Amino acid sequence: MCGFDSHLAYVMNRFLDLAAKQAARSGCRYLVGAVVTKSGRVLISSCNRYRNSPGIDFQHATFHAEEMALRRARHVRGAVIHVARINAAGEPRMARPCQRCATALVARGIIRAHYTTPDGPAVVNLT
Ligand SMILES: [Zn+2]
């Protein structure tokens, strides 16, 4: 199978491509990146990060990329988020926002989430 850049459908979405570049920077076990855009402009981008506190349970061991982006972003009401997860080979993997992130995104007024899947980009409306 070919790598991320060979997927024409992905190359066509430059924000998912940017999110994948963020994911590549992650030091976490799962490589996830998120880019928040509004009116075609990037407001903020981030990858997921390990939390500092020891003894935290596995489920909450990381700040998800979406959480990291929301923590750093302002004026995101009406914005769109692009979430990419890649494997070690740079191939796209399922990155649909989890329930906790989806709830946080809705609360901040993010209207739509584009995300990678192994079979091509997908989108979910959050409103
Ligand atoms: Zn999440």
State in Å: Cα 120 to ligand 1 middle: 20
More confident residue, 3 or 42: 42
Q: How far apart are CA 19 and CA 37, in angstroms?
A: 11
Q: How far apart are CA 116 and CA 97, in angstroms?
A: 10
State in Å: Cα 25 to ligand 1 middle: 17
| pLDDT at residue 12 is higher than 50 | no
The mean per-residue pLDDT over the stretch 114-127 comes to: 93
Measured from the Cβ of residue 118, the count of other Cβ atoms closer than 10 Å reads 11
State in Å: Cα 95 to ligand 1 middle: 9
| pLDDT at residue 76 is higher than 50 | yes
State in Å: Cα 96 to ligand 1 middle: 8
State in Å: Cα 91 to ligand 1 middle: 20
| pLDDT at residue 57 is higher than 60 | yes
**What is the per-residue pLDDT for 11?**
45
The mean per-residue pLDDT over the stretch 62-80 comes to: 93
**What is the per-residue pLDDT for 55?**
65
Q: Give me the chain's average pLDDT, please.
A: 87
State in Å: Cα 100 to ligand 1 middle: 6
Distances (CA, A) of 39 to 5, 30, 77, 79, 114: 25, 29, 12, 8, 15
pTM value?
A: 0.85
State in Å: Cα 31 to ligand 1 middle: 12
State in Å: Cα 105 to ligand 1 middle: 10
**What is the per-residue pLDDT for 13?**
81
Domains observed in the chain: 4-125 (3.40.140.10)
State in Å: Cα 62 to ligand 1 middle: 9
